[in-house]
Amino acid sequence: MKEQEKDFVEETPAAVEGTPLTEAEQAEQDLREKRRKRNAIKARLRNLKGWVYLLPALVLLAAFTLWPIINTLRIAFLNGYNGLAEVGGATFAFGFQNFVNVVNFPDFLVCLRNTLLLTVITVPISTMLALLIAVALNSIKWLKKVYQTIFFLPYVTNAIAIGMVFNAMFGEVLINGTPLSIGIINSILGVFGIEPINWINVGSSTFNNMVVLIIYIVWNALPFKILVLLGGLQNVDKQYYDAAKVDGASRWRVFWRVTVPLLSPMITYVVITGFIGGFKEYTSVVGIFGDSMGAPAAPGSMNTMVGLIYDCIAKNNGGLAAAAALILFLIILVATIINLYVSKKKTHY
């Protein structure tokens, strides 16, 4: 096989020089030509086989991933796009009207602010907490598995269910419109002499709403981060700690100079995925505040970018939704690039 390939790569010296060919040379060249063609067909068939194997996956990916992406791009740039109208045969002009409309949307700035705030606040907090908990988990022996399970529970619990529980914990429990209890959090705060705070009920401040949401998101983001960091910690060679001990490093220094740098690839990963997840935050708001996306009497005050996209879809305004999705995509892209740029300098692989 190898020899054959060599054959048709090599050019016959006679052909190069352009001298007339003898009969034997001609026959040889014909044979070569034939062989080359046969090989080419064989190679093409082999290629085809590979494509056939890939086909099922490709079809699915094309239908459910690639086409939606392209379609979103297309829709975003069609002024006043409406899905139903398009089916009816309407055509739309190309332009940036959707983007202008989204930006001028009354809720747009609120959504953008909420999304950015939630991400910027929760990612550092949850990463640091996860790191501390992972280090603590790694250094205990007794009940380690039990704690691991406890910390991992939010990961396997339904987000809406958790949201409802949070709602019950922070909010007043109302029966037929009359408050029955002030909620367990306020009860606990009351033990320390703190007046009940209106976390999420009628008239609650945006700040209070945000605090509840942040607690929820941080708690919900912990398990995955702990899992990743704990896995990283278990791979750190114990000898580094022995060496640091012999060298007289304090616990604090060992943490910052040994543990954190050695974990930096994991931390980078957790931060980047955390940022992406943060920008896509949506279910937590629905879970706590319901589909009004805000405290009662202030609907939409806690809305996020993804919430905005859903709102647009609900109003059957696909063009706006697509434009909002593109804007969110750009934000995530920029944030991830910044993340990667920073981590390249700080991460040790």
Partner 1 sequence: MKVVLEHLTKIFPSRNKKEKNAEVVAVNDFNLEIPDGKLIGLLGPSGCGKSTTLYMISGLQPPTSGKIYFGEDDVTELAAENRGIGLVFQNYALYPHMTVQQNILFPLQNLKGENRLSKEEMLARANEAAKLVQIDEYMNRKPSELSGGQQQRVAIARALVKMPRVLLLDEPLSNLDARLRLQTREEIRRIQRDTGITTIFVTHDQEEAMSISDYIVVMKLGVIMQTGKPQWVYDDPANLFVAKFLGTPPINVFRGRIEGEKLYIGEEAVFETKGAEDQEVYVGIRPEGFVLDERGGLTCSVSGIDVMGRDVSVVSTNENSLNPVIRSIVSADEAGKVSAVGDVKFRLKENKVFIFNKETEARVYFGAQVAAHEAMLSAMKAEGEFYAFHEGPLPREADDASKQTQPEEKKGFTVSVKNFFGKIGAAFRKQPETPAENATAEDTPAESAENAAESADDATQTESEDKE
Buried b (16+ CB within 10 A) or exposed e, 320-342: bbbbbbbbbeebbeebeeebeee
Nearest approach in angstroms of CB 233 to partner 1 is 15
Residues ≥6 apart with Cβ < 8 Å to 160 = 283, 286, 287
**Using CB under 8 A, which residues numbered 39 to 68 contact partner 1?**
none
Nearest alpha-carbon partner for 77 in 329, 319, 330: 319
Q: Is residue 262 close enough to count as binding partner 1 by CB under 8 A?
A: yes
Q: Is residue 252 close enough to count as binding partner 1 by CB under 8 A?
A: no
Q: Among 18, 56, 88, 248, which residue interacts with partner 1 (rule: CB under 8 A)? A: 248
Query: What are the backbone dihedrals phi and psi of residue 202, each rounded to the nearest 5 degrees, phi first?
Result: -55, 130
User: Which 8-state DSSP code applies to residue 179?
Assistant: E
Q: Is residue 243 close enough to count as binding partner 1 by CB under 8 A?
A: yes
Q: Is residue 168 close enough to count as binding partner 1 by CB under 8 A?
A: no
Nearer to partner 1, 6 or 238 (CB): 238
User: Which 8-state DSSP code applies to residue 18?
Assistant: T
Determine the size of the site formed for partner 1 (CB under 8 A): 20
Nearer to partner 1, 249 or 298 (CB): 249
Q: Is residue 240 close enough to count as binding partner 1 by CB under 8 A?
A: yes
Nearest approach in angstroms of CB 54 to partner 1 is 38
Q: Among 50, 246, 341, 345, which residue interacts with partner 1 (rule: CB under 8 A)? A: 246
Nearest alpha-carbon partner for 258 in 334, 123, 348, 134: 348
Nearer to partner 1, 46 or 238 (CB): 238
Nearest approach in angstroms of CB 240 to partner 1 is 6
Nearest alpha-carbon partner for 231 in 131, 340, 92: 131
Q: Is residue 238 close enough to count as binding partner 1 by CB under 8 A?
A: yes
Using the contact rule CB under 8 A, the part of the chain among 59-67, 87-95, 112-120, 242-250 near partner 1 is 242-250
The span from the CA of 218 to the CA of 210, in Å, is 12
- Say how far residue 44 (Cα) sits from the centre of its chain: 39
The span from the CA of 162 to the CA of 153, in Å, is 11
Using the contact rule CB under 8 A, the part of the chain among 121-129, 208-216, 253-261, 327-335 near partner 1 is 253-261
Residues that bind partner 1 (CB under 8 A): 237-240, 242-250, 253, 257-258, 261-262, 264, 348
